[in-house]
Structure 1
């Protein structure tokens, strides 16, 4: 699959103007932020319609998180959860996917540059709204979105450039250290709390910023504080703040949802805290084979994203298949066989797709050469693979457009970013880092997942594994691996030297050229 076909970047009219500017005019390149048209010409005069701009910003954030490149690639493809093996000439793409898996990226990697640009642009746009004297709720939501985007800049890159809205292209953005950015984000979230609605479970209440979403992001901040401040040791006071934030979320009625894969449908549930109205097609079709059709997409999948055998083996169930009745835990999902495939599940399973795949009428599918379409557990190499190499992962599912519940196409615009089970496990981890036993908390979650037995005890390694089992491909695996000291550890088809510098991505080359206040991260 050609990369240029798959990338669908959001390009605003402002960025288009910037891109047409001379390539030698690095001072106004879109690396650190966009620049207001009136910046530097008498000061910033404000946005005419802050509410409309806020809605545009929500859409921009959703667009940034909906693709398989950029944010998703940096957060998931760099981990032990995903691998995009090159199959013949498909998914070669000049090595951009292989570099992420093997941790051999450089400061010129396209996805690194795009993620940096998108996040920093969003921070600036939020600042423009904030400085336009909006009403209290618009102000609070803009501060939440600024904190949200700056959180990911800080988490991925360490230092954070910040441009004031009245600064023109002749002013180099200030650069916040990781500690300064942490404090800035904390202040934005705490100030946003006063103007945000409470937030309660349900699709109507969780597509925008709420106090509950702010508490979730605060919990993430406190849980990772010892990583961001460089101490390396969790502070008990921070861990207590994690617990308090999670308890505040639970007090609003959020709880673990029974029926795991129902959470990823566009219906009300008790877990979703914050979702974006962005398409989830990339979460579906980048993994499915070309011949795996569904009523809404008769063209089949893109046959790319796979998972590693060792990650699959962390789940309960038969080691070499995942058919219905293989004694698998609920979260590992299932593959329909010839007798269970039907129109309701479209012949496509959920979770881990391994072994022979079937059409909706129970007919065994074939690959494009006519051989059985049977996904292999092992991936022998990053290159030189066949069409069926590697297990596939599927949380969001294709839908039947003839189903009345899907007539509004809402399934494609409901991607979850914050979820209560994550908060629940954050609380368990905070307890563990305060030398309390998290076993009961973890087993409370597992008891809500069918055929998932209790754990006799929960060690640090087991808690990391549990977060993987619950939250796979939900944007948090890299963050977890860094916090548990495992991001530079070995896994299949990844040569590792244990370089801790890889815990941060490099500052893109273009950003360094355009802003001399930036300093490249160590090791790059």
Structure 2
């Protein structure tokens, strides 16, 4: 029973702001009888399981995609209004009470708690490195989204409020702690487990974005760029990308094998994933439910759409835009990629809209007044027709193509020629080489990584995030580069100060 109470207490922390802890939880943690090794394993597993939050389209995923030039959530009559939550994300008009902001904060800080707590119970060398990987990962994600991070030292008393680090301090801590242990991580690539390759990918990601976090006013207001990318940081990006590129990964010949129900084994690109199975998985079903029409298979929620700003970046022959896959055709009549135009079922017959005519997805939509077929939809993670509600697809966090593009960008920022890398990627994807300037690389990141949860971060780094795109006609204030700290977190931890302009 003691073990059961301990696990439930850990889970409850995910649902809190994680900036302060109740005394009764402290008592449970002090009273339980698990060995130190059991505690370490349990908390590392907790940090790993928390990665499932990234496939839940209510939290981190929507904060990274909805405010970008890739995704929107139109209101359709009485459907999808949700108090204007999706419009606020698209138009950059959110505030500190926005429910998706609160949820993302809780989920990320829950992962950070698990990772830090694991370091408190005499872990082995490898376990220490694994827990440190997760600690750095969650510090990085909190820094990126919120601009400040409440951080406890391992073993610190829960009765005291955690120290709060600014963006500049937090990214330095995340990098230094992970660099100290990277060589203690295994070179074996086990799905879902931290290894030296996933640590290298994370370090490359942090060094690539470091200039953004350093560009912060004294009062915490983020600067909008253009940013100063130091050569030393870009050399680090290349160094860590080369560790991954020297590993057991190859670009996937069939792009959508990275996202199909057997991608645990089928993908040759996955570096770090949140592992799902039909018996024990997260909410990956949301990846197709959130966008498909009610009358398609599976029957979706008729929600989120792709923007023309994304669609127009593709050549018509790019298989990442549209692929006819036998698996989808046989089960549903769907194509993989961005769906527009008339839709058919698995028998080739028209799928009907609410009016009884053929469902036809249009490129246009309105944030406030769309019918049931406005807006292009996206099928990237292929539905698992053996278990629609509990799919077997792993949710990919880091993969090889992202690493290749990070190296290309770092080289371009050092005035080196990354054309070989871009040509390699586009050749495997079956499209002609188009150039390797910085703007080409940003566009290629859109084509390659769309709806994977990186677009907001990429646009900020390229100083395009505050601009305009489909259904967003006005520029945003630079304060919107980071989200507000949830009001509940500020009220419980006096070390937290609300971000400027919120």
Q: How does 1:218-257 map to 2 (within 5 A)?
A: 218-230=203-215, 232-257=227-252
* TM-score (norm: length of structure 2): 0.88
Query: Would you say 1:52 and 2:42 are equivalent positions?
Result: yes
Rounded Cα–Cα distance in structure 2 between residues aligned with 1:140 and 1:516:
31
Which residue is 2:266 aligned to?
268
Change (3 A) 1:189 1:164: closer
Shift of 1:223: 0.7
* TM-score (norm: length of structure 1): 0.85
Given the alignment, which residue of 451, 474, 490 partners 1:496? 474
Q: Tell me, what secondary structure is at the counterpart of 2:128?
A: helix
Q: Tell me, what secondary structure is at the counterpart of 1:369?
A: coil
Given the alignment, which residue of 70, 75, 80 partners 2:59? 70
Q: How does 1:201-350 map to 2 (within 5 A)?
A: 205-230=190-215, 232-265=227-260, 266=263, 267-277=265-275, 278-294=282-298, 300-317=299-316, 328-334=317-323, 344=330, 346-350=332-336
CA displacement, residues 276-308 of structure 1 (integer Å, 9 cap, x when unaligned):
0234201111111101124xxxxx111101011
Given the alignment, which residue of 66, 71, 80 partners 1:82? 71
Rounded Cα–Cα distance in structure 2 between residues aligned with 1:316 and 1:151:
34
Rounded Cα–Cα distance in structure 2 between residues aligned with 1:390 and 1:421:
28
Shift of 1:31: 4.6
Which residue is 1:393 aligned to?
378
Which residue is 1:454 aligned to?
433
Shift of 1:438: 2.3
Which residue is 2:19 aligned to?
32
Shift of 1:44: 10
Which residue is 2:220 aligned to?
none
The alignment of Structure 1 onto Structure 2 pairs a total of residues equal to 474
Tell whether the 8 Å contact from 2:305 to 2:378 is kept in structure 1 after alignment.
yes
User: Quick check: 53-62 or 471-480, which moved more?
Assistant: 53-62
Change (3 A) 1:114 1:369: same
Shift of 1:253: 2.4
Q: Tell me, what secondary structure is at the counterpart of 1:106?
A: coil
Shift of 1:53: 2.8
Runs of at least 4 residues off by over 6 Å: 40-46
Change (3 A) 1:109 1:368: same
Given the alignment, which residue of 439, 444, 458 partners 1:480? 458
Rounded Cα–Cα distance in structure 1 between residues aligned with 2:118 and 2:375:
46
Rounded Cα–Cα distance in structure 2 between residues aligned with 1:505 and 1:496:
18
Rounded Cα–Cα distance in structure 2 between residues aligned with 1:519 and 1:480:
26
Rounded Cα–Cα distance in structure 2 between residues aligned with 1:150 and 1:347:
42
Which residue is 1:523 aligned to?
501
Q: Which runs of 5+ in 1 are unaligned?
A: 1-10, 20-28, 295-299, 318-327
CA displacement, residues 210-269 of structure 1 (integer Å, 9 cap, x when unaligned):
100000000001111111111820011111111111111111122222111111122333
Shift of 1:14: 5.7
Tell whether the 8 Å contact from 2:50 to 2:110 is kept in structure 1 after alignment.
no
Q: Tell me, what secondary structure is at the counterpart of 2:84?
A: helix
Change (3 A) 1:333 1:42: closer
Change (3 A) 1:315 1:12: farther
Shift of 1:376: 0.6
Shift of 1:121: 2.1
Shift of 1:172: 2.2
Rounded Cα–Cα distance in structure 1 between residues aligned with 2:87 and 2:66:
9
Rounded Cα–Cα distance in structure 2 between residues aligned with 1:468 and 1:342:
24
Rounded Cα–Cα distance in structure 2 between residues aligned with 1:315 and 1:42:
53
Rounded Cα–Cα distance in structure 1 between residues aligned with 2:10 and 2:233:
41
Shift of 1:482: 0.4
Rounded Cα–Cα distance in structure 1 between residues aligned with 2:328 and 2:125:
51
Rounded Cα–Cα distance in structure 2 between residues aligned with 1:16 and 1:391:
38
Query: Would you say 1:443 and 2:423 are equivalent positions?
Result: yes
Shift of 1:437: 2.3
Shift of 1:368: 2.8
User: Quick check: 230-239 or 84-93, which moved more?
Assistant: 230-239
Rounded Cα–Cα distance in structure 2 between residues aligned with 1:486 and 1:453:
26
Query: Would you say 1:361 and 2:365 are equivalent positions?
Result: no
CA displacement, residues 73-124 of structure 1 (integer Å, 9 cap, x when unaligned):
1011111110110011111111111100000000111111111122112212
Shift of 1:459: 2.6
CA displacement, residues 359-381 of structure 1 (integer Å, 9 cap, x when unaligned):
101111101331211111111x2
Rounded Cα–Cα distance in structure 2 between residues aligned with 1:52 and 1:342:
38
Q: Tell me, what secondary structure is at the counterpart of 2:203?
A: helix
Q: Tell me, what secondary structure is at the counterpart of 1:418?
A: strand
Given the alignment, which residue of 507, 511, 519 partners 2:485? 507
Rounded Cα–Cα distance in structure 2 between residues aligned with 1:310 and 1:51:
45
Shift of 1:342: 7.5
Rounded Cα–Cα distance in structure 1 between residues aligned with 2:501 and 2:308:
31
Shift of 1:33: 5.4
Change (3 A) 1:311 1:52: same
Q: Tell me, what secondary structure is at the counterpart of 1:140?
A: helix
Tell whether the 8 Å contact from 1:39 to 1:167 is kept in structure 2 after alignment.
no
CA displacement, residues 412-444 of structure 1 (integer Å, 9 cap, x when unaligned):
341000011000000000011001122332121
Given the alignment, which residue of 380, 392, 399 partners 1:419? 399
